[in-house]
Structure 1
């Protein structure tokens, strides 16, 4: 597969990139939407987090902005391809599954570090305006996953470039990054607590943490894990948004989320 990828032309790489990113966005988005809106509530598994309704036109806006991000990510596949063409990076064609597994774990940790650093920068006064379009989704949906300003998409989309010049990864290890990244992102933006019984710090509580980030904005800059927010003390208290939700329930006569 490594040889096939490097032998493609630049237009072919960009076309396959568009199909790949568009496919995983639509696939994971639709699956998460179906699970959280239909299947899991019907089975009595989990619960919705933010009780407030979506804004008028929110889904159309998220899909439009995500389409632009898919375009940037897909066309941007020419950059890792270019590193290989220039000889600045190399793919390991004979990596075994054990090595691939270790590489994926390393990339998952790096993905969290990269995301926290860029996300924290996007909340500074210099770059905040580029993060604003994403935060228009006060109540998150899986379709908000790629709903970025183009600058934010460029910042988050370069995650594999530095690792590529430092180590000869397997093609499959690098290809896994957008897959697990989008999967965890859809979970984080689902506005659904899949496992209410686990603690707020648990890996499975990522959707709780990220929904709070959208509700109160400052803090919880991490991705799937919590180590960066713990290290830099940027965690949001688990009950930080309760006053907002209680006020909404009181106003609308609701007693449950």
Structure 2
């Protein structure tokens, strides 16, 4: 029996239970993994921390609490794509080739950025910004900020695979890859670490720098892993001003 058949044959409660376990495991792996990676790189002088200010006293506890609520929403939300399949609104590809899966993952990666930009831009409008303030309370971001959302934001960001499912018969593993690469890229974006300081701000490897700038200056940089949406729609954030070095005294010591 294939993975797609196993998923289709699960009961609603089993889908929810597996969804909760899946997103909990993703969040813990992303948080602990990215924290360990940035500490390792910092120890060996590879890359640099973007914002050295200390965290707010209750920041981590707040991020964990809000992320727990997001995990509940993501896990419960697994019932929706499962329901699409049960109702015949969506189907999984039969016997997809490795090439098909690879192409579909690449297409979903691009769609993920488009979907994120649209929803993120909405969250910075007058009507929706009330739901995005929880996330922006983390000015100095951490890998634990990745799921730190208001429930409405979690629902907006968590529906990324629904539209693709109804317009194309994707392989099961292509769709299953979306929350995985989304979490990895989200953890990078919230790592507060510049892994490749030498690359330009539009480079894909500068994603953490772009998202750090968005938290420091929220008007702009609404994209996710790539810069193409901000570039095309002219929503790139202005760089932060360079802090002048403290002036040296011109007086000689007595």
TM-score normalised by structure 2 residue count: 0.94
| Corresponding residue to 1:22 among 17, 21, 24 | 24
Partner of 1:185: 186
Query: Which residues of structure 2 form unaligned runs of 5+?
Result: 247-254
Write out per-residue CA displacement over residues 74-127 of structure 1, whole angstroms, 9 at most, x where no aligned residue: 110000000000000001130011000000000001000000000000000100
* 3-state secondary structure, aligned to 1:242: coil
Moved over 6 A (4+): none
Give 1:84-95 correspondences, 5 Å limit: 84-95=85-96
Displacement after TM superposition at 1:165 (Å): 0.3
1:242 aligns to 2:241 (yes or no) = yes
Displacement after TM superposition at 1:51 (Å): 2.1
Give 1:220-239 correspondences, 5 Å limit: 220-237=221-238
Structure having the higher helix fraction is 1
TM-align CA RMSD = 1.2
Check whether the contact 1:21–1:70 (CA below 8 A) recurs between aligned residues.
Answer: yes
Partner of 1:254: none
Check whether the contact 1:140–1:191 (CA below 8 A) recurs between aligned residues.
Answer: yes
Displacement after TM superposition at 1:58 (Å): 0.3
Partner of 2:216: 215
Check whether the contact 1:187–1:206 (CA below 8 A) recurs between aligned residues.
Answer: yes
Distance in structure 1 (CA, Å) of the matches to 2:200 and 2:218 = 21
Distance in structure 1 (CA, Å) of the matches to 2:218 and 2:42 = 27
Give 1:69-108 correspondences, 5 Å limit: 69-108=70-109
Displacement after TM superposition at 1:66 (Å): 0.4
Query: Which residues of structure 1 form unaligned runs of 5+?
Result: 251-257
Write out per-residue CA displacement over residues 173-205 of structure 1, whole angstroms, 9 at most, x where no aligned residue: 000000000100000000000111111111000
Check whether the contact 1:93–1:171 (CA below 8 A) recurs between aligned residues.
Answer: no
TM-score normalised by structure 1 residue count: 0.93
Distance in structure 2 (CA, Å) of the matches to 1:152 and 1:145 = 12
